[in-house]
Amino acid sequence: MDIFIYGLVTGSILLICALGFSMTLKTEGFINVAHGQMLMLGAYFTLGLTYIGLPFLIAAFLSVLLCGVTGLAFQRILFKPIKSNGILVQLFTSVGLAYLINGLVGAIAGKRMLSFDIPISRVVKVGDVYLVTPYEFMILGIVLATVIFLHIFLQYTIMGKHIRAVADNQDLAKIRGINPDRCSDLVWFIASSLAGLGGIFLGILGAVHLNMGWQQIVMILSVTVLGGLGSIYGVMLAGLLLGFAMEFGLLFVSSNYRTAIAFGVIILVLVIRPEGLQSLWQSKGRET
Amino acid sequence: MEGFLIFAISILTLAFVYVILCLALNIECGVAGMWDLGIVSYFGVGAYSYAIIVAPEAASYQHYLFGLESNPIYGIVLAIILGGVSAYLIGLPSLRLRREYFLITTIAFSEVLRITFSNENWLTNGVAGIYNIEQPLKSYFSPDNYIVLLFVIFLCFSVIVYKMVNKLSFSTYGLSLKALRENEALAKTARIEPSKQYHSVYVFTGCLAGFSGALYVWLNTLIVPTQFTPNVTFFVWTALIIGGIGNNRGAFLGAIFFVILLETLSFLNLSAELALVVSSLRIALVGLALILILRYLPNGLLREKPTVL
């Protein structure tokens, strides 16, 4: 039972981290390596804001917004001007950006492991079963709310429909009078705020350190590819699946191999089904 | 010898290791157009093969296999062979995939390998790593002269690899790879078989990366798993992009430029606290350089030469 819950928590954090990444991949068409650093930035923003005296929840909320604005700024300053230069140029600009963010944060905050100043919580006990800590419970709730919100936003609002249209076919969307730049801006804002949120979750459950972005981006990449590139719902499923796989795998191998299990799963799935999980419900494969 | 000169020479010696790695990546990714984010795998395999052959027998508090303390040449040969073999094996499943899918599978394999290196204590002494691996020929020279000797040897190695890769990328074989990169369907009609060509170039890259891994351990005299994170892959890619992807001379220059950029700031004599800040800032500097070069010179310092028959 606890394995199930751990899997759920690990999976939903992965899901939140990968959702934003997957959205930029879908609309902008390139792999944004700096997304991992946005996670770290979210955690460090929160740390900085609590340091100057704000209560934790307010600091967390503000840093999610701050991350969104920072992401928007990156889109305007860095990525929009080079959009016509191809995927590899955009990909490596984001690698450069990742180094830049990582270096600057390291210079300001130092390389020590840090953690949020929140009280240690105890596991809630229901009957005879130990369930989750309140923090984990809160995280699950927020993740669920975010996913539902995102689903409603993308499926039922005008802006959401525009974003999906641009993601499917930018030229056709333009002909219909949709402004792709505005959609890009919005996607960057949402994606970066989601990254910030994911980073804060990681910080709550573990520690805040300089390498968290690099560690996570590899996992995020895996989740995204496993879900089928850029498919939002595929990513959700893949995140949960990997979360469970990592926790259940621990029954068989030592905990040092936790992430290796995840990569093993990815390799296996890709070799059997190169289109990712998405292909389970979409029979026609699309050329990327 | 003067301190600065020694410093400059040892930086360049390190740069030559990266040059070989960068050239290997260039023939695979620049010429053949594959998106490989796992080159660190073969670099690591080569490094560990060399280490367990050359290192002395494991002391009581250490654990690693072999420790033959044998001739470094065997170590280098084994590094090349095992680099190639591991590339062959990893290529079997992953080469069926393309672009993003290939990219993620290779990076996943490199992480699995790194995690294995740090956990299989019987083979690699785990996270503690292997130390004091003796440098070949060291006893015959004074320390100062040895630094110069190492510089010359590594320079020769990287020039040889450069000549080889250059020859290969303008041979019929190299042209067939370029054809695959530009238009796979069209290349097939010219009787170029994608899976065979891709697999062979992948193994070749593995051999070269294994070789540079062996040189890396030779230079550093120690090996720990944290040396083989995906960071190495990104560093080599960055060097290649800076130099100009597809151009071998660009790969050579890019690697040297990159290592100089990364290491120069470490020469400054700073207090421990400031040194930490500077070590972070130089990562930021590399990032900034990459962004600016891609913005204003999207083809890198030297662009790919058009092939003329």
Handedness of CA A277, A282, A284, A288 (dihedral sign): negative
Q: How distant is the Cα of B261 from the closest Cα of chain A, in angstroms? A: 13
Quote the distance between the C-alpha of residue A144 and its chain's center: 14
Average pLDDT in the A261-272 region?
Answer: 78
pTM, full prediction: 0.83
**Is residue B113 predicted with pLDDT exceeding 50?**
yes
What is the distance between the alpha carbons of residues A189 and A244, in angstroms, rounded to a whole number? 29
% of chain B at pLDDT higher than 90: 15
Type and span of the H or E element at A129: strand A129-130
pLDDT 10s digits, A18-32: 888 888 888 887 888
% of chain B at pLDDT higher than 70: 91
Average pLDDT in the B168-172 region?
Answer: 86
- Which of B115-119, B184-188, B233-237, B264-268 has the least mean pLDDT? B264-268
Contact A100, A82 (CB under 8 A): no
- Smallest Cβ distance to A93: which of B118, B234, B291? B291
- Specify if B15 maps to a domain: yes
- Give the pLDDT of residue B268: 65
- Which of A137-146, A193-202, A264-273, B206-215 has the least mean pLDDT? A264-273
- Smallest Cβ distance to B241: which of A92, A98, A210? A92
Residue A48 burial (CB count, 10 A) = 16
- Specify if B118 maps to a domain: yes
| Neighboring chain A residues of B119 at a CB cutoff of 8 Å | 254, 256-257
| Neighboring chain B residues of A274 at a CB cutoff of 8 Å | 96-97, 101
- Interchain proximity B238–A31, CB inside 8 Å: no
Boundaries of every domain in chain A: 2-211
How is B86-145 classified by DSSP, letter by letter? HHHHHHHHHTTS-HHHHHHHHHHHHHHHHHHHHH-HHHH-GGG-B--PPPTTGGGS-HHH
What is the distance between the alpha carbons of residues A203 and A39, in angstroms, rounded to a whole number? 10
- Give the pLDDT of residue A115: 77
Interface test with A, best of B36, B102, B111 (most A CBs within 10 A): B111
- Interchain proximity A266–B108, CB inside 8 Å: yes
- Interchain proximity A263–B111, CB inside 8 Å: yes
Q: In this structure, what are the phi and psi dihedrals at residue A209, rounded to the nearest 5 degrees? A: -145, 170
Contact B20, B153 (CB under 8 A): no
| Neighboring chain B residues of A222 at a CB cutoff of 8 Å | 104, 108
Tokens of A89: 């140029």
- Smallest Cβ distance to A271: which of B93, B287, B298? B93
**Is residue A284 predicted with pLDDT exceeding 60?**
no
pLDDT 10s digits, A120-140: 666 666 666 666 777 888 888
Which of A187-201, B123-137, B263-277, B283-297 ranks highest by mean pLDDT?
Answer: A187-201
| Neighboring chain A residues of B238 at a CB cutoff of 8 Å | 92, 95-96, 99
Name the DSSP letter for residue B30: I
Phi-psi region of A230 (alpha: psi -120 to 50; beta: other; left: phi over 0): left
- Give the pLDDT of residue B65: 60
Overall size of chain B counted in residues:
309
Confidence of residue A285 (pLDDT cuts 50, 70, 90): very low
Confidence of residue B69 (pLDDT cuts 50, 70, 90): low
Calculate the average pLDDT of chain B: 82
Cβ-count burial of B235 within 10 angstroms (0-12 exposed, 13-18 middle, 19+ buried)? buried
- Interchain proximity A267–B109, CB inside 8 Å: yes
| Neighboring chain B residues of A110 at a CB cutoff of 8 Å | 276
| Neighboring chain B residues of A89 at a CB cutoff of 8 Å | 294, 298
User: Which of A139, A245, A153 lies closest to A191, judged by CA?
Assistant: A153
- Specify if B248 maps to a domain: yes
Overall size of chain A counted in residues:
288
- Interchain proximity B294–A97, CB inside 8 Å: no
Paired strand residues for A130: A125
Contact A188, A75 (CB under 8 A): yes
**Is residue A288 predicted with pLDDT exceeding 60?**
no
A3 in contact with chain B, both atoms CB, cutoff 8 A: no
- Interchain proximity B284–A98, CB inside 8 Å: no
| Neighboring chain A residues of B231 at a CB cutoff of 8 Å | 214
**Is residue A282 predicted with pLDDT exceeding 60?**
no
Q: How distant is the Cα of A232 from the closest Cα of chain B, in angstroms? A: 17
Confidence of residue B162 (pLDDT cuts 50, 70, 90): very high
Contact B259, B14 (CB under 8 A): yes
Cβ-Cβ pairs closer than 8 A, A with B, add up to 140
- Specify if B28 maps to a domain: yes
CA distances to B95, B114, B181, B191, B249 from B35, in Å: 11, 20, 11, 23, 20
- Interchain proximity A263–B241, CB inside 8 Å: no
User: Which of B31, B1, B19 lies closest to B219, judged by CA?
Assistant: B19
Confidence of residue B74 (pLDDT cuts 50, 70, 90): confident
Q: How many domains does chain B have?
A: 1
